[in-house]
Amino acid sequence: MDGTVTFLVPEPTRETLYKLYPGLLAKHSAIFETMLSLPQGQQACQQNAEGRCDENPIVLHGVVRWEFDHLLTFLFGWYSGEPQRQDFLISVLKLSDFFQIDRGFQYALAELKRLSPFDVTLKLELGRQFRIHEWVEPSFRAMMERPVSSISRLEARRMGMENFWILATTKAKVEEHYRALAYTQPMLVQSPECRTPLACAAAWKEEWWNGIARHFLHPESPCRSHGGILVLLQETDFDGGICASCKAGILSKLESSVALRYEEDMQDIAAVLVMEAQMDGRV
């Protein structure tokens, strides 16, 4: 096809015509190559054949004008080579995927990886939508560190219903576990070397209810990680109420406690579920 081809990007408030050279489009895009090579029948020699005139353009349904402008800027080399804005890169990524432009997709992907800051829920959404698997788990784990109440409607929509459900149910189970754990004081296994067993038992009970349990249930910044609890206990002097041998016994017992690893274990399980859904295409 000689000359230019006319495309129409329809939008509710305006319609935009583009006159573009077909050779460049077909060179980079398998979709455009197929589209522009389709036979036009008897109309092929007529001036009003599809794409030959403004009255009968090739209509690009589902394409947003400003996103198409960004794609053309990339394809025709009109961009300066300076670091691009996030919306430009996402437009190139999205339409390169749509029109099967491998060079554009790889360019946008590489530039987005270098982008900072990069909203974690947007990264998760793009990872889901365009099968960028390596973005999904780290983004989901970052969201797991936040309270559910802090996640906006937009962020939840970007996560996808399946992922948000996994996050919400996992965090609910973690909350239930640590509420129960806070009210279940571990028994003090006293050392044979302890000379003050009653004082040590009383001090441990006091520290559990007024220290550890409160950290589990803190409304803003709970301390629940296995390592965090051990550090907290190591730094607690118990006001001299627990002897060194009993304190060592407490640390040894809690270090092997599965209950204190519950949150980390549940996050690992949640991440596995998210990636299974990702690989199965359920997100």
What CATH number does residue 113 fall under? 3.30.710.10
Of 118, 140, 162, the position where a domain reaches its end is: 118
Query: What are 63-70's contacts with CB under 8 Å, separation 24+?
Result: 63/9, 63/95, 63/98, 64/9, 64/11, 65/9, 65/11, 65/14, 65/16, 66/91, 67/91, 67/94, 67/95, 68/9, 68/18, 68/95, 70/95
52: containing domain: 5-118
Give pLDDT, residue 224. 81
Q: Is the residue at 130 inside a domain?
A: no
Q: How far apart are the first and last CA of the chain?
A: 41
Q: What is the DSSP letter of 131?
A: T
Place of tokens 């455009």: 32
User: Hey, what amino acid is at 76?
Assistant: F
Distance from C-alpha of 53 to C-alpha of 17, rounded to nearest angstrom: 10
Q: Where do the H-state alpha helices sit in 64-210?
A: 65-75, 86-98, 102-114, 120-129, 133-144, 153-159, 161-182, 197-207
Apex 17 CA angle, 14 and 20, nearest 5: 150
Apex 274 CA angle, 134 and 146, nearest 5: 90
In which order are the strands placed within the sheet that holds 15-20? Answer: 15-20, 5-10, 58-59
Whether 95 and 192 map to the same domain: the answer is no
Place of tokens 């274990």: 265
Whether 19 and 110 map to the same domain: the answer is yes
Distance from C-alpha of 146 to C-alpha of 156, rounded to nearest angstrom: 12
User: Hey, what amino acid is at 22?
Assistant: P
**Total of domains in the chain:** 2
Whether 17 and 106 map to the same domain: the answer is yes
Give pLDDT, residue 1. 47
Chain centroid, CA 96 distance in Å: 21
Q: What is the pLDDT along the chain (283 residues), one digit of tens a residue?
A: 457 899 999 998 999 999 998 888 999 998 999 888 766 555 545 567 788 888 899 999 999 999 999 999 999 876 665 567 899 999 999 999 999 999 999 999 999 999 888 899 999 999 999 999 999 999 999 999 999 999 999 999 999 999 999 999 999 999 999 999 888 888 888 888 999 999 999 999 988 888 888 888 887 778 888 888 888 888 887 777 889 899 899 888 888 888 889 999 999 999 999 999 999 887 6
> Around Cβ 123, how many Cβ atoms within 10 Å?
20
Q: What is the DSSP letter of 215?
A: H
Q: Is the residue at 179 inside a domain?
A: no
Whether 114 and 191 map to the same domain: the answer is no
Give pLDDT, residue 49. 76
Q: Is the residue at 261 inside a domain?
A: no
